[in-house]
Amino acid sequence: MDVLILVSEQTRKYVHELIAESSHRFEIQTIDSNTVPIQDSKAGKIGGIFRELSYTFSEFKSRYLRSLFVLKRYPNTVLITYDDRMPSLISVLKAAYKLKIPVFLPSILTATPDRRTQTSNVLQEQRMVEKLLVPMTRLLCKNQINNDGRLYYSPMSFLTLLFNGCLPQNPWAKGTQRFISRLGVEAAYIRDMLLNFGVPTERIVVTGLPIYDFMDFSLIGPHSDEQVLLLALPQYAEHGAMGLEGAMPIIRDILQGLKTFEGRVVVSLHPRMIRENYEPEITRFGYECATENVEFWLRRCSIFIAANTSSTIYWALMLGIRTLLLNQTYPKSDLFRHFESLQYIEESPSRELPDFVANPMVNWNKLMLEDQQKLSKELVSDGNCGKRNVEIIHTLLSSP
């Protein structure tokens, strides 16, 4: 299979590293915009807004034209994307649509559209231009704002997409962009939610997550009667929410809250976390800093604790592990609120964790089974998630 990868110049080197040992033949093309922002300190606020808008429009058009140029050489292909809401990607999707190239958005991890989770724009201070746009948006395209009256997009991106006819029908949910041909979702409940948000039923396929094909869903449990608590240490510093110096007191508070657990505490670090920054603190509390990957310990633990945005939550639910989410600091999220078996720390880990450890949740077993049904466990834990994605690609290639 020949694969064309469209990347920015910034990510090109990382892609080269990822494909180095693959047996497929890859071609890499950059689709960076050549637009350069104009700096003018004398422009004033109004002039600055128009310059910013002009730059955003030009950047979108430049990337769209570059994508047209590249994709014209590959008429018999399928474009695969990981998102249909980012303006930089929408310009590429529009080019594919123009050339009648089908677009497939496979399942990665779907934010819950019913909760309208925060975007980067919502986390920024509301600008005057956004305040002026909101009344118009309520009348013309109300799905672009949330319950707090904030636009999903920054004002300049919103205007750029609006005048290019590229606004998703509902940007709070994946798959509502009209350029998408097929959308893979991880479970039937996600399909049903997206149907309620206007995604056509023929566009959605329940595939599961590709990572499931590499997972063993048989739960081993501890090797003895000893109980194991697994903590996936949150990446507060690595996500850019705060510096390492600001993150460490929060991490110490979490570690302190586990002191009452009568068993083995294993702390797993994400690959992007520098071990030397965290291991001394972990061992000071008497805990073990894992050398194996998180899946190894998930299959051997009785309790799992992680940040509220971690995709490993799905793994824990599929394995039937009692799970707690840390939701006491940024980035707070409602991503997993629809799973009833999960519990949350909303304020202080050092005060709330001992109670969680000591008091199992009422009706937890029943709620866990219901959550596994929501995840379509029986359907998607068959080792064929990747195969379903390939079948979708072949179907799109053979469709007129």
Are residue 142 and residue 238 in the same domain, yes or no?
no
With both helix axes pointing from N to C terminus, report the angle between 349-358 and 244-257 in degrees, rounded to the nearest 10: 30
Residues 174 and 249 in one domain: no
Nearest to 150 by CA among 167, 164, 166, 129: 129
The answer on 198 and 183 residing in a single domain is yes
Supply the pLDDT for residue 229. 94
CATH number at residue 285: 3.40.50.2000
25 found inside a domain: no
Q: Is the same domain home to 268 and 327?
A: yes
Residues 59 and 187 in one domain: yes
| Residues 299, 147: Cα–Cα separation, whole Å | 40
Q: How many residues does the chain have?
A: 400
Task: Give dist(CA 221, CA 251) in Å, integer.
Answer: 26
What's the pLDDT at 114? Answer: 53
In whole numbers, what is the pLDDT of the chain averaged over residues?
Answer: 84
Q: Give domain status of residue 387, yes or no.
A: yes
Q: Is residue 24 part of a domain?
A: no
Whole-Å CA distances, 192 to 2, 113, 386 = 34, 11, 22
Q: Tell which residue, 208, 242, 232, has the closest CA to residue 312.
A: 232
The reply to whether 367 and 388 lie within a common domain is: no
Retrieve residue 252's tokens: 């110490």
Give the pLDDT of residue 336. Answer: 83
- Please indicate, yes or no, if residue 160 is contained in any of the structural domains: yes
Measured in whole angstroms, the distance separating CA 256 from the mean position of its chain's CA atoms is 29
Distance set, CA 260 to CA 12, 160, 282, 290 (Å): 47, 54, 15, 20
The pLDDT value given to residue 7? 73
The pLDDT score that the predictor gives to residue 17 is: 76
6 in a domain, yes or no? Answer: no
Do 82 and 100 lie in a common domain?
yes
For the chain, give the secondary structure using H, E and C.
CEEEEEECCCCHHHHHHHHCCCCCEEEEEECCCCCCCCCCCCCHHHHHHHHHHHHHHHHHHHHHHHHHHHHCCCCCCCEECCCCCCHHHHHHHHHHHHCCCCEEECCCCCCCCCCCCCCCCCCCCCCHHHHHHHHHHHHHCHHHECCCCCECCCHHHHHHHHHCCCCCCCCCCCCCCCCCCEEEECCHHHHHHHHHCCCCHHHEEECCCHHHHHCCCCCCCCCCCCCEEEEECCCCCCCCCCCHHHHHHHHHHHHHHCCCCCCEEEEECCCCCCHHHHHHHHHHCCCEECCCCHHHHHCCCCEEEEECCCCHHHHHHHHCCEEEEECCCCCCCCCCCCCCCCEEECCCHHHHHHHHHHCCCCCHHHHHHHHHHHCCHHHHCCCCHHHHHHHHHHHHHHCC
Rounded distance between C-alpha atoms, residue 257 and residue 296, angstroms: 24
Q: Which of 387, 324, 390 is nearest to 357 (CA)?
A: 324
In a domain, 18, yes or no: no
Structure tokens at 38: 């104009």
- Residue 167 is part of a domain; what is its CATH number? 3.40.50
Q: So what's the pLDDT on residue 39?
A: 58
340 and 327 within one domain? yes
How far is residue 340 CA from its own chain's centroid? 21
Residue 22 belongs to some domain of the structure: no
- 203, 96: one domain: yes
Q: Which residues contact 89 (CB under 8 A, 6 or more apart)?
A: 81, 82, 83
Q: Are residues 206 and 250 in the same domain?
A: no
190 near 197, Cβ under 8 Å? no
Q: Are residues 199 and 298 both part of a single domain?
A: no
What distances in angstroms separate CA 372 from CA 32, 200, 247, 365, one per listed residue?
42, 25, 33, 11
For residues 233 and 345, state if they share a domain.
yes
Residue 1, domain member (yes or no): no
Burial class (CB in 10 A: 0-12, 13-18, 19+), 268: buried
Structural domain range at position 127: 31-212+383-398
Question: What digits encode the pLDDT tens for the residues 294-321?
Answer: 888 988 899 999 887 677 888 899 999 9
Backbone angles phi, psi at 209, to 5 degrees: -100, 135
Q: What is the pLDDT of residue 327?
A: 85
pLDDT attached to residue 323: 94
| Spans of the chain below 70 pLDDT | 1-2, 33-49, 109-123, 220-224, 241, 309, 330-332, 400
Q: How many domains does the chain have?
A: 2
Supply φ then ψ for residue 142, to 5 degrees. -65, -20
